[in-house]
């Protein structure tokens, strides 16, 4: 399922925390100092149940310029920003700095929220809206919705919620197929449990009991427990905020900015190569070897900027740089970062990490700069990977891949192994020849299935799910072979995304929940089948006693879907407990007597011939028994 993090941004005292309380009913200012001073100092976290059924995490970012490093730790992990501007003040300095940061970190989705709308008249409100439209022209917020709200009176909150729900559908799904990576923003100890870290999962997924490593300290630990939105869970994945209880590691051995990931898959470094964008709002050039602060994930590190391709960087310009750090940083290629002036502290630029573990570079080295350009463009990425991504809907084998490449690719098998090891592609082995599909194809199809099932579960709360065949036809089409389809479904089951109930598929977390009246109907149906054992009641007789026929049918069908009632033929339905008992009775009887007739089965079950024959024919179909003349023997 797609997970979304919503974050606030904006000037101090523009009502970010109050807005979140109006949206969620929860307070995110938890420190005594925050409550006394009426400002957010640290990041605040909570969650929000949207009308569509999704649960979004919410990060409350402090607006005061003194706490901008805390704000950066929050903004780096959000998908949708609520840029908060007080209607009585308009755009202010931290509004501008927060917005610069959002652009540098490549945040793509946002809503502008004009708070304190109850404090101004319509004419003033209209003037502020025009100012906002003009300021954000040409940016990712140019066409963003603008909502005028009052957290005090509740005006506009409902409409804002609807737009938040709508925009979360547009958010690109996180990379749940890559390596697990969590950026630590808090670490503390819980009595009886030990060390707990909290943060946002950037990529991959983590299961309870798995081994992890803390970077850059390289401490090995194990996940004792996981919580998401205050609930204990067995796993968590990209896009979710979570708390992880770690074993064999002390609180003092972890700090904000550390990375929790799988063992031996990441590398920490004192040098990173980057493409740096220097803000046009800066009033002087960025000089070579200038000391700055880099913000990456939840870490803040002092470093010096080595400008590789020019003497200095003028405001509004970009350049290739090497950042030489005073502490190690654990990053990955294409991660975003922000830099701020050393003193006084203000945001001056940011960009993208090209090489997260760089070697010391010389300035104006044309070969080195050319390598950075190639890495930045992605042309150094494997052509093979792109080919497989393009062919994934055809489920290609090696022959098809080679044909698409248009040449005899050397060491294809070894290159495939590298892509498999890096979890960029997935190998399917259900057919004679292995097939290869890209992780993005899996991610896309997973998202489509989740969206389809989420809507179905919302519309049909007492239905266990959608048939495998329907999902196959609507999501995968005719190109996929049944064995390949079954293997992909098995993969999604192993990843805790789907669960199977006979021929039906449901979201892993979905459970049928009966209301009070539905539970009464269920109990009544179960009791009737328990009492009748092998002489089951008719549907019509049970339904006749209920006024609400629609509710009765929904509950009755749910029991069939969940396998609590077993249909052996159109009008022969048994309680699962007695159905399983009947199998054992028949097998034991045949083992002892050699065979069983319909009359003997009738007497064995103390039922009518009709029901006895229905059970025996069902066991024939399951290949438990087979009919030989007038008796059954074991298959």
Give the span between the Cα atoms of 23 and 82, in whole angstroms: 12
Q: Is the pLDDT of residue 40 over 50?
A: no
Higher pLDDT, 604 or 402: 604
* For the chain, domain boundaries: 5-168, 181-261, 268-377, 381-513, 518-634
Contact 387, 404 (CB under 8 A): yes
Nearest by Cα to 360 from 436, 275, 272, 294: 272
CATH T-level fold of 518-634: Arc Repressor Mutant, subunit A (1.10.10)
Looking from the CA of 352 toward its CB, the CA atoms found within 13 Å total 13
Give the span between the Cα atoms of 438 and 522, in whole angstroms: 45
Contact 468, 488 (CB under 8 A): no
Q: What local confidence, expressed as pLDDT, does residue 380 receive? A: 42
Q: CA-CA distances (angstroms) from residue 316 to 100, 177, 178, 281, 286?
A: 12, 36, 34, 8, 11
Burial zone of 81 (CB within 10 Å; 0-12 exposed, 13-18 middle, 19+ buried): buried
Q: What DSSP state is assigned to residue 362?
A: -
Contact 181, 202 (CB under 8 A): yes
Alpha helices by DSSP H, 136-280: 157-168
Burial zone of 308 (CB within 10 Å; 0-12 exposed, 13-18 middle, 19+ buried): buried
Nearest by Cα to 568 from 622, 604, 521, 609: 622
- Only one residue has tokens 């925050």, namely 34
Q: In angstroms, how far apart are the furthest CA atoms of the chain?
A: 99
Tens digit of each residue's pLDDT (9 = 90 or more) over 89-128: 999 998 999 899 899 988 999 999 999 999 999 999 999 9
Burial zone of 516 (CB within 10 Å; 0-12 exposed, 13-18 middle, 19+ buried): exposed
Q: What local confidence, expressed as pLDDT, does residue 619 receive? A: 95
Other Cβ atoms less than 10 A from the Cβ of 316: the count is 11
Which range is least confidently modeled, 59-73, 154-168, 198-212, 463-477? 59-73
Give the span between the Cα atoms of 497 and 489, in whole angstroms: 9
Q: What local confidence, expressed as pLDDT, does residue 43 receive? A: 53
Q: What local confidence, expressed as pLDDT, does residue 382 receive? A: 64
CATH T-level fold of 5-168: Rossmann fold (3.40.50)
Other Cβ atoms less than 10 A from the Cβ of 467: the count is 12
Q: What local confidence, expressed as pLDDT, does residue 12 receive? A: 83
Q: What DSSP state is assigned to residue 65?
A: G
Tokens representing 417? 């192994």
Q: What local confidence, expressed as pLDDT, does residue 381 receive? A: 55
Considering the segment(s) 181-261 as one domain, its CATH architecture is Beta Barrel (2.40)
**Which class does domain 268-377 fall in?**
mainly beta
Contact 634, 587 (CB under 8 A): yes
Which range is least confidently modeled, 26-30, 507-511, 619-623? 26-30
Contact 204, 176 (CB under 8 A): yes
Q: What local confidence, expressed as pLDDT, does residue 271 receive? A: 97
% of residues, the chain, pLDDT over 70: 93
Q: How far apart are the first and last CA of the chain?
A: 43
Contact 587, 624 (CB under 8 A): yes
Give the span between the Cα atoms of 356 and 623, in whole angstroms: 59
Domains 5-168 and 381-513 share a fold: no
Q: Is the peptide bond before 216 cis (omega within 30 degrees of 0)?
A: yes
Q: CA-CA distances (angstroms) from residue 508 to 22, 107, 390, 511, 547?
A: 31, 30, 29, 8, 34
What's the predicted TM-score (pTM) here?
0.71
Find how far residue 154's CA is from the centre of its chain. 30
Find how far residue 464's CA is from the centre of its chain. 22
Burial zone of 626 (CB within 10 Å; 0-12 exposed, 13-18 middle, 19+ buried): exposed
Give the span between the Cα atoms of 635 and 624, in whole angstroms: 5
Q: Is the pLDDT of residue 37 over 60?
A: no
Nearest by Cα to 333 from 278, 372, 300, 302: 372
% of residues, the chain, pLDDT over 90: 63
Tokens representing 480? 């996929």
Vertex 632: Cα angle to 628 and 635 (nearest 5)? 90
Q: Is the pLDDT of residue 2 over 80?
A: no
Give the span between the Cα atoms of 57 and 98, in whole angstroms: 20
Give the span between the Cα atoms of 196 and 434, in whole angstroms: 42
Alpha helices by DSSP H, 76-228: 93-104, 122-135, 157-168
DSSP per residue, 298-352: TEEEEEEEEESSSSEE-TT-EEEEEEEEEEEEE--TT-EEEEEESSS--EEEEEE
Tens digit of each residue's pLDDT (9 = 90 or more) over 216-231: 999 999 999 999 988 8
Bridge partners (DSSP) of residue 145 are none
Q: CA-CA distances (angstroms) from residue 561 to 468, 544, 564?
A: 13, 22, 8
Give the chain's mean pLDDT. 89
Looking from the CA of 489 toward its CB, the CA atoms found within 13 Å total 22
Q: At what angle do helices 576-593 and 598-605 cross, to 10 degrees?
A: 130
Q: Is the pLDDT of residue 41 over 60?
A: no
Q: Is the pLDDT of residue 69 over 50?
A: yes
Pick the CATH number of 381-513 from 3.40.50.300, 1.10.10.10, 3.40.50.880, 3.60.15.10: 1.10.10.10
Tens digit of each residue's pLDDT (9 = 90 or more) over 548-576: 898 899 999 899 988 899 999 878 999 99
- Only one residue has tokens 């709200």, namely 149
Give the span between the Cα atoms of 221 and 249, in whole angstroms: 6
């Amino acid at each position: 399922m797609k997970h979304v993090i919503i974050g606030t941004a904006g000037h101090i005292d523009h009502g970010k925390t109050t807005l979140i309380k109006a949206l969620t009913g929860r307070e995110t200012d938890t420190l005594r100092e925050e409550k006394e001073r009426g400002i957010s100092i640290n990041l605040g976290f909570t969650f929000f149940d949207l009308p569509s059924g999704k649960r979004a995490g919410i990060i409350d970012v402090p607006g005061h310029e003194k706490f901008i490093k805390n704000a950066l730790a929050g903004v780096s992990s959000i998908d949708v920003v609520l840029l908060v501007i007080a209607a009585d003040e308009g755009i202010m300095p931290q509004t501008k700095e927060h917005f610069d940061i959002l652009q540098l970190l490549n945040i793509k989705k946002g809503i502008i929220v004009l708070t304190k709308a109850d404090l101004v008249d319509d004419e003033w409100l209209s003037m502020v809206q025009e100012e906002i439209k003009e300021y954000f022209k040409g940016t990712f917020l140019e066409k963003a919705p603008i909502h005028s709200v009052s957290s005090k009176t509740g005006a506009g909150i409902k409409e804002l919620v609807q737009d938040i729900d709508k925009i979360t559908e547009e958010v690109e799904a996180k990379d749940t197929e890559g390596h697990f990576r969590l950026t630590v923003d808090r670490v503390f100890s819980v009595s009886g449990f030990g060390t707990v870290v909290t943060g946002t999962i950037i990529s991959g997924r983590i299961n309870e009991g798995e081994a992890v490593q803390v970077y850059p300290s390289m401490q090995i630990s194990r996940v004792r427990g996981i919580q998401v939105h205050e609930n204990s869970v067995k796993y968590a994945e990209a896009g979710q905020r979570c708390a992880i209880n770690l074993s064999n590691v002390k609180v003092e051995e972890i700090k904000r900015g550390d990375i929790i990931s799988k063992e031996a898959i990441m590398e920490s470094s004192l040098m990173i190569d980057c493409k740096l964008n220097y803000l046009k709002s800066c009033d002087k050039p960025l000089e070579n070897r200038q000391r700055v602060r880099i913000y990456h994930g939840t870490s803040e590190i002092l470093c010096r900027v080595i400008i590789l391709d020019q003497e200095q960087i003028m405001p509004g310009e970009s350049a290739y740089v090497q950042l030489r750090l005073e502490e190690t940083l654990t990053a990955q290629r294409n991660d975003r970062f922000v830099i701020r002036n050393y003193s006084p502290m203000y945001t001056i630029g940011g960009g993208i990490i090209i090489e997260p573990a760089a070697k010391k570079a010389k300035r104006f080295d044309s070969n080195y700069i050319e390598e950075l350009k190639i890495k930045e463009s992605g042309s150094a990425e494997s052509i093979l990977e792109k080919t497989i991504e393009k062919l994934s809907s055809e489920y290609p084998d090696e022959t098809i891949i080679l044909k698409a490449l248009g040449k005899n690719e050397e060491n294809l098998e070894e290159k495939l192994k590298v892509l498999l090891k890096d979890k960029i592609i997935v190998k399917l082995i259900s057919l004679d020849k292995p097939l290869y599909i890209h992780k993005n194809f899996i991610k896309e199809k997973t998202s489509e299935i989740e969206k389809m099932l989420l809507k179905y579960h919302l519309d049909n709360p007492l239905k266990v799910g959608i048939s495998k065949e329907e999902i196959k036809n609507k999501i995968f089409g005719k190109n996929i072979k049944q064995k390949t389809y079954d293997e992909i479904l098995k993969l999604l089951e192993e990843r805790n995304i789907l669960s199977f109930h006979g021929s039906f598929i449901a979201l892993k977390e979905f459970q049928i929940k009966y209301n009070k009246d539905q539970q009464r109907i269920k109990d009544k149906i179960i009791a009737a089948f328990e009492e009748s054992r092998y002489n089951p009641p008719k549907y019509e007789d049970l339904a006749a006693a209920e006024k609400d026929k629609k509710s009765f049918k929904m509950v009755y069908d749910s029991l069939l879907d969940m396998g609590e009632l077993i249909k052996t033929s159109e009008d022969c339905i048994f309680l699962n407990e007695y159905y399983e008992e009947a199998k054992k009775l028949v097998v034991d009887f045949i083992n002892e007597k050699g065979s069983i007739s319909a009359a003997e089965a009738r007497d064995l079950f103390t039922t009518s011939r009709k029901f006895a024959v229905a059970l025996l024919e069902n066991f024939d179909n399951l290949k438990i028994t087979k009919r030989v003349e007038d008796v059954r023997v074991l298959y």
